[in-house]
Amino acid sequence: MTNQAPSTSYTDPAPAHRLEQAAAALTGNGFTTEILDDVAAARTRIAELIPEGAEVFTSASETVRLSGIDADLNSGGRYQAVKPRVLAMDRATRADEIRHLLARPDVVVGSVAALTEAGQVVVASGSGSQLPAYSGGAGRVILVVGAQKVVPDLATALRRLEEHALPLEDARARVVYGTPSAVNSLLVLNADARPGRVTILLVREAVGF
């Protein structure tokens, strides 16, 4: 029998005991996991984790944008920021170079659609551009996850994606890009073959979709 959907909404931060359960499961699956109090702590921790001069790709994420992490990493000259370089390239003539840059940066920073108490990480994408880096291409992956994204199981994670995250992202995409969003690619990380490559920063507050 599968677990039922959580009694709270998809926007309520999970309580401390559920965060600790998820963190323990993630650690057991080879993901380095830290529980932080708030977004400010996550910004500070990321600055500590990424060495100056590293090639860094920030994937499309409202968590990363709203937290200020995107601006921290893509401006100021501390890092070799991939996103500004890619945005300045002609996609018709430099498609291969763009693909290589996105697939294998030193560090990719982003978020997830949901995270289960069993330590599974669910990432959805319309373009699929960030998934190669997450799944194995990047030297290091850092995922910032608001506590509202922690759910009991994979079935609930997929419901959260379809019922909550996708409608919000679709509305955003229509305003920003003039096109709808879709779950064209879906990645589930059950564990990592290289323990320590993926760091998950669980934030006790809600942030992002």
Q: What is the pLDDT of residues 34-43, one digit of tens each?
A: 999 999 999 9
Average pLDDT across the chain, whole number? 94
Instruction: Please tell me the predicted confidence (pLDDT) of residue 2.
Output: 42
Instruction: Please tell me the predicted confidence (pLDDT) of residue 4.
Output: 42
| Bigger pLDDT: 147 vs 2 | 147
Residue with tokens 């799944």: 135
* Mean per-residue pLDDT, 118-135: 96
DSSP state of 54: -
CA dihedral 54, 57, 58, 59 (to 10 degrees): -160
Backbone angles phi, psi at 166, to 5 degrees: -65, -45
Instruction: Please tell me the predicted confidence (pLDDT) of residue 1.
Output: 37
* Mean per-residue pLDDT, 10-17: 96
Residue 8 has pLDDT above 70, yes or no: no
Q: What is the pLDDT of residues 107-116, one digit of tens each?
A: 999 999 999 9
* Mean per-residue pLDDT, 91-116: 96
* Mean per-residue pLDDT, 165-171: 95
Put simply, whether the predicted model's pTM sits higher than 0.85 gets the answer: yes
DSSP state of 147: G
Instruction: Please tell me the predicted confidence (pLDDT) of residue 104.
Output: 97
Instruction: Please tell me the predicted confidence (pLDDT) of residue 9.
Output: 78
As a whole number of angstroms, the distance between CA 98 and CA 129 comes to 10
* β pairing state of 55-58 and 150-151: unpaired
Name the token pair of 198.
Answer: 């993926």
When pLDDT is cut at 50, 70 and 90, the band that residue 6 belongs to is very low
Instruction: Please tell me the predicted confidence (pLDDT) of residue 148.
Output: 98
Domains of the chain in sequence order:
16-203 (3.40.50.10420)
As a whole number of angstroms, the distance between CA 71 and CA 170 comes to 23
Instruction: Please tell me the predicted confidence (pLDDT) of residue 3.
Output: 45
* Mean per-residue pLDDT, 9-16: 94
Residue 189 has pLDDT above 50, yes or no: yes
% of the chain at pLDDT higher than 90: 94
Start-to-end C-alpha separation, the chain = 28
As a whole number of angstroms, the distance between CA 61 and CA 18 comes to 24
Residue 51 has pLDDT above 70, yes or no: yes
